[in-house]
Structure 1
Amino acid sequence: MELNRRSLLAVIGAGTAAALTGCGTGSSSAGSADGPAEGEITLLTPIYEGAKGKKVLEGEILGGFRKKYPDVKVNVDYTTYAQLNEKITTGLAGGLLPDVLMMGVGWIPPFAAKKAIAELPEKLATAHDYEKRVLEPSRYDGKLYALPVILDTRIVVYRKDHFAEAGIKKTPANWAELRAVAKQLTRDGRVGFDPFSIDLRQCWETFLFSNGGQLFSEDGKKVLFTDARGVEALQFFKDLVKDGSAVYAKKTELGAPTNIQTGKASMMMSTSGQWVQVKEQNPDLIKDDKLGAFILANRRPAMLQGGTLVTQSASSKHPAAARALVEYLATPESILGAASQRGSVPGLRDLNDSSYVKENQFVDLSLQNLQHAVSEGGTAAWMEIREKIKPTLEPAIVGDQSAKDAIAELGRLAEAAIGRM
């Protein structure tokens, strides 16, 4: 792919894969991975954050990998999800893509379509006892391109003590009940529901899915979220704000004590990782059994399934070593280490009875409801579209734009992106 200086700067500055409209730098299958695993390779990862994460990855997981494959040296390139797409697209444009990449759910179709990542042997899909739903985001055009490492679900966390004080005996079963309960729990500076402290894109998607909606057609070529289901999902946020039971400006920052922890909200959209954060910052909330969780529902129950997958560059000069690392990072031992460090959900039935799963109630709830899990993405244009969702929908929540107009505009942007593929 030939990129001029202007287009390369666009890739770096925008941080999206929109510039990847030409040919990929590799083929859909890397050089033979059947030879001996040897050589120096690079792993690009957005997880294993901080000193604790580095210790888990380099000390424990890669320590075991080195014992099994002593002739492979692994260099780790740590990044964040905010910078990951920029690093991948810049590396792809420059022909310097890392040998092994960890990327998000929804990311496989865009990079597989551009032949940036290698197809994996189908036998790897049965190497462990994966939940069927968990493997779906690892495929493109019916072929396997990645293996799941951890899942990050979107659930509703609530304060049991607030419910008890208000005499509320059951969790909301649909949006009408959710809105009524949120109104009832809003008092004295406390909001009844905080849907905004997670990413707005993923929050709206969870509501869309629970309303029976879809993002795209099965082939990824048609936008489906512009129907009434998508509009109603965004309108529900506007209704909550109008009621005063949700306030966009009161969302909390990542890593900071959440509104649930501080008691400034009675319910909030959250992730399974909230359990680990509470355990570290407010252990008494767990000790005193003040937290509960449930799956969002309206026309159907729905739980957004995000997460991190591991895949192999199609242009790796050491494909056997890269393939060995991909497989190793997806073993139960490696997955358990990654999941427990972040409070994430392991996607292997092998780990359902582990002490980690049983101790983390939000992880346990997520595993019990994987049949209701839905993933974002589903189109080769996803990397461009995903960056437009929050800035396009936000004006409808904080301003006067109607939900219908905001969704229609997002639909036009998505259709244009798909048309450019």
Structure 2
Amino acid sequence: MGINRRSVLAALGAGTAAALTGCGSGTSEGTEDGSAGSGPAKGEISLLTPIFEGSDGKKLLEQDILGAFRKKYPDVTVKVDYTTYKQLNEKITTAIAGGLVPDVLMIGVGWVPPFAAKKVLAPLPESLATAHGYEERVLEPSRYDGKLYALPTVMATRLVAYRKDYFAAAGIKKPPANFAELRAMAKQLTKGDRMGIDPYSIDLRQCWETFLFANGGSLFSADGRKVTFTDQRGVEALQFFKDVSADGSADFARKTEGDAGAPTNIQSGKAAMMVTGSGLWKQLREQTPELIEKDLIGAFVLRGRRPAMLTGGTLVTQSARTRHPEAARALVEHLAAPDSILAAAEQRATVPGLRELRSSEYVKGNKLVDFSLQNLDSACAEGGTPAWMEIREKIKPTLEPAIVGGVSAADAIAELGALAESAIARL
């Protein structure tokens, strides 16, 4: 029988939630590394989160998820501070400067090395990595310097969605095996007002990274101290955008802003293919359900020298300077437990990174989420260096001139590489 959100939430105070340890070392005065031990979980703690947006998200977090947490830990009060991913880094940086870092933080994939290196985050016991069936690819971005600093909650994937009806009309029977086939296919599918492919309606940083990884490239060396995206593979990934634009198969000026709620180009029929994520399924349901009913939307993993599916998402971490480490640790575990993850994933139409949730009604009812979980062996994560927070902000403005202006792909990548090397040198 599939797991659904209602049955899971009903069990929050018992079942899985009862298995949470929630204990830790230190006293209410806090410890140098925020570690937890044998003391009881009590006190008022703060939670900073960029997810659970809107009234529905707030209700889910405060009434359902934290409501269950209060039943298990009645002596812990949680004060929630909501923000957005656009403001999250600035908010954390300001908190560090003011010495008032929230007790529990929800951060993005790639963010652990920068903040762990600054000793903002407390290492977590390795036993938490096996407390539930977290997908190993999802756990990788939670580590830094051999230690576990975070637990995954929900994932966001980047894949290519396509219109099955347009493929059929063009006689295309299988996804492209490499960039050359993808470019040729985009040209073939371009017709009248319809673009062959829309790679621009997601964040340019994430889109280029997806193509970089699919081209067999990487961002940084294993230790995060050397830039590796400046080789030919990084240049070719950016050049692809220039090529499809030159072909007339893509148009940067016609990108849609997904977070603005407007139908995407693939929904409106203005693009035959589109780089997107699992959240598209929720938009399809709400705005163009006929595309689901007629089974007109398919998906494939981008493939160049290898298949690659960029996988981001939200991790939950504990402050190294919390005054209530036991309570903070308990909340970290609770937010990363199956019941909380499933509820958050369903609310955001994102991907739960737990093996046991693959059979849930939610996953089986969202074909792009299901597809993402079936292809986690192709997952690649951004970040990998303590300098990431500075570098990530420079990717989009540095690469965009190569698409909308006359800057060559090689020059744009070289400039980004120089900026990244400078950031790393300051560590």
Please confirm whether the aligned pair reaches a TM-score higher than 0.5, indicating the same fold.
Answer: yes
1:301 pairs with one of 292, 301, 307: 307
Distance of 1:33 and 1:347 partners within structure 2 = 27
Instruction: Tell me what 1:226 maps to.
Output: 230
- Superimposed CA distance per residue, residues 285-310 of structure 1 (whole angstroms, 9 cap, x where no aligned partner): 11111101110001000000100000
C-alpha spacing 1:87/1:30, structure 2 compared with 1 (3 Å): same
1:375 pairs with one of 345, 370, 381: 381
For 1:75-154, list aligned pairs within 5 A: 75-154=79-158
SS at match of 2:34: coil
Pairwise CA distance, 1:179 = 0.6
Distance of 2:188 and 2:221 partners within structure 1 = 39
Superposed structure 1 runs of 4+ greater than 2 Å apart = 31-34
Distance of 1:145 and 1:121 partners within structure 2 = 8
Distance of 2:326 and 2:184 partners within structure 1 = 57
The yes-or-no answer on 1:195 pairing with 2:202 is: no
SS at match of 1:172: coil
- Superimposed CA distance per residue, residues 180-227 of structure 1 (whole angstroms, 9 cap, x where no aligned partner): 111111111111100000000000000000000000000000000000
Please tell me whether the aligned partners of residues 28 and 119 of structure 1 are also in contact (alpha carbons under 8 angstroms): no
Instruction: Tell me what 1:64 maps to.
Output: 68
C-alpha spacing 1:141/1:28, structure 2 compared with 1 (3 Å): farther
Distance of 2:50 and 2:419 partners within structure 1 = 28
For 1:13-92, list aligned pairs within 5 A: 29-30=33-34, 32-92=36-96
- Superimposed CA distance per residue, residues 139-176 of structure 1 (whole angstroms, 9 cap, x where no aligned partner): 00010000000110100001111111222221212111
Instruction: Tell me what 2:365 maps to.
Output: 359
1:331 pairs with one of 328, 331, 337: 337
Instruction: Tell me what 1:12 maps to.
Output: none
Please tell me whether the aligned partners of residues 151 and 308 of structure 1 are also in contact (alpha carbons under 8 angstroms): yes
SS at match of 1:388: helix
Instruction: Tell me what 1:408 maps to.
Output: 414
Letter aligned with residue 336 of structure 2: A
SS at match of 1:302: strand
SS at match of 1:325: helix
Letter aligned with residue 178 of structure 1: L
Instruction: Tell me what 2:7 maps to.
Output: none
Unaligned 5+ runs, structure 1: 1-25
Instruction: Tell me what 1:6 maps to.
Output: none
Letter aligned with residue 111 of structure 1: F
**How many residues are paired up?**
396
Letter aligned with residue 385 of structure 1: I
Taking every aligned residue pair, what percent have the same amino acid on both sides? 72
Q: What is the alpha-carbon root mean square deviation over aligned residues?
A: 1.1
Letter aligned with residue 126 of structure 1: T
Instruction: Tell me what 2:18 maps to.
Output: none
For 1:245-394, list aligned pairs within 5 A: 245-253=249-257, 254=259, 255-394=261-400
Please tell me whether the aligned partners of residues 107 and 377 of structure 1 are also in contact (alpha carbons under 8 angstroms): yes
Moved more, 391-400 or 31-40: 31-40
Letter aligned with residue 167 of structure 1: G
Letter aligned with residue 258 of structure 1: T
Normalised to the residue count of structure 1, the TM-score between the two structures is: 0.93
Letter aligned with residue 332 of structure 1: P
- Superimposed CA distance per residue, residues 355-375 of structure 1 (whole angstroms, 9 cap, x where no aligned partner): 111111111111111111010
Distance of 1:143 and 1:316 partners within structure 2 = 19
Pairwise CA distance, 1:123 = 0.6
Please tell me whether the aligned partners of residues 150 and 339 of structure 1 are also in contact (alpha carbons under 8 angstroms): yes
C-alpha spacing 1:329/1:387, structure 2 compared with 1 (3 Å): same
